[in-house]
Amino acid sequence: MSLRLRVVLIAGLALALVWGAAAAWLAHDIHRNLDRTLDERLAMSARMVSGLLQRAALQPGASSPALEGAVSVGGGQGIACQIRSLRGEILAASGDPTLAARAAPPPGFADVETGGALWRTYTLHVDDFVVTTADRVDERDALVRGIVVAAGMPVLLAVLGGLVALWIGIGRGLAPLDALRRQLQARAADATDPVDAGGAPAELRPLLSALNGLLERLSLALAQQRAFTDAAAHELRTPLTGIDTHLQLARLSGGDARDAALDRAGSGVARMRRTLDQLLALARAEVAPAVDDPCPSVLAAVRDAIGSGTNAANGRVACALVGEDRASPMPHSMLVTAVRNLLDNALRHAPGDSTVEVAVECAVGEAACVIRVADRGPGLTAEEMARVGQRFWRGDRGRPDGAGAGLGISIVRAIAARHGGELQLRAREGGGLVAVLRVPAA
Amino acid sequence: MRVLVVEDDALIAEGVVAGLAAQGFDARSVCTGASAEAACVDEDFDALVLDLGLPDTDGLALLAALRAQGIEMPVVVLTARDAIEHRLAGLHGGADDYLVKPFDLRELAARLHAVVRRARGRAVPQIQAGPLRIEPHSGLAWLDGDPVALSRREIDVLVHLADARGRWVAPDALHERLYGLDSDVGSNALNVHIHNIRRKLGADAIRSERGLGYRLGWEAA
Rounded CA separation A358/A322 (Å) = 11
- Give the length of chain B: 221
Nearest CB to B80; choose among A237, A243, A267: A237
Among candidates A414, A418, A412, A422, which has minimal Cα distance to A305? A412
pLDDT of residue A62: 58
Beta strands in A24-147 (DSSP E): 79-85, 90-94, 108-114, 117-126, 129-136
pLDDT of residue A313: 61
Mean pLDDT of A84-89: 81
Q: Do B53 and A242 touch (CB under 8 A)?
A: no
Q: Residue A200 is inside which H or E element, if any?
A: none
Q: Do A234 and B19 touch (CB under 8 A)?
A: no
Among candidates B182, B132, B184, which has minimal Cα distance to B154? B132
B79 at interface of A, judged by CB pairs closer than 8 A: no
pLDDT of residue B121: 78
Q: Do B22 and A253 touch (CB under 8 A)?
A: yes
Chain B CB contacts of A261 below 8 Å: 15, 18
Rounded CA separation A440/A308 (Å) = 23
B34 at interface of A, judged by CB pairs closer than 8 A: no
Distance linking the first and last C-alpha atoms of chain A: 52
Among candidates A280, A271, A435, A438, which has minimal Cα distance to A343? A435
Chain B CB contacts of A237 below 8 Å: 80, 101-102
Q: Do A244 and B102 touch (CB under 8 A)?
A: yes
Q: Do B12 and A252 touch (CB under 8 A)?
A: no
Does pLDDT of A243 surpass 90?
yes
pLDDT per position as a tens digit, A384-442: 888 787 777 776 554 544 566 778 888 898 888 888 889 999 888 888 889 999 999 88
Q: Bigger pLDDT: A310 or A13? A: A13
Under-50 pLDDT residues of chain B: none
pLDDT per position as a tens digit, A334-355: 888 899 889 888 888 888 788 8
Mean pLDDT of A371-375: 91
pLDDT of residue A288: 64
> In whole numbers, what is the pLDDT of chain A averaged over residues?
83
Rounded CA separation A364/A302 (Å) = 18
Q: Mutation test of the interface with chain A: which of B5, B6, B7, B9, choosing the one with the most A Cβ atoms within 10 A?
A: B9
Q: Do B104 and A238 touch (CB under 8 A)?
A: no
B103 at interface of A, judged by CB pairs closer than 8 A: yes
Q: Do A248 and B19 touch (CB under 8 A)?
A: yes
Nearest CB to A245; choose among B31, B55, B105: B105
Are the beta carbons of B152 and B20 closer than 8 angstroms? no
Are the beta carbons of B161 and B148 closer than 8 angstroms? no
Rounded CA separation A118/A112 (Å) = 6
The 3-class SS string of chain B reads CEEEEECCCHHHHHHHHHHHHHCCCEEEEECCHHHHHHHHHHCCCCEEEEECECCCCEHHHHHHHHHHCCCCCCEEEEECCCCHHHHHHHHHCCCCEEEECCCCHHHHHHHHHHHHHHHCCCCCCCEEECCEEEECCCCEEEECCEEECCCHHHHHHHHHHHHCCCCCECHHHHHHHHHCCCCCCCCHHHHHHHHHHHHHHCCCCEEEECCCEEEECCCEC
pLDDT of residue A131: 86
Distance linking the first and last C-alpha atoms of chain B: 21
Q: Is A367 exposed, middle or buried (0-12, 13-18, 19+ CB in 10 A)?
A: exposed
Is this complex's ipTM strictly greater than 0.85?
no
Chain B CB contacts of A397 below 8 Å: 8, 55
Q: Identify any residues that bridge with A85 across adjacent strands, giving them in sequence order.
A: A129
pLDDT per position as a tens digit, B159-212: 888 888 788 888 888 888 788 766 677 778 888 899 999 998 888 888 888 888
Q: Bigger pLDDT: A67 or A146? A: A146
pTM of the model: 0.59
Q: What are phi and psi of A228, to 5 degrees?
A: -65, -50
Chain A's closest residue to B8, CA to CA, is A398
Are the beta carbons of A83 and A67 closer than 8 angstroms? yes
**B47-51/B75-79 β-pairing:** parallel
Residues above pLDDT 90, as percent of chain A: 12
Q: Bigger pLDDT: A23 or A404? A: A23
Chain A's closest residue to B20, CA to CA, is A249
Q: Bigger pLDDT: B199 or A254? A: B199
pLDDT of residue B1: 84
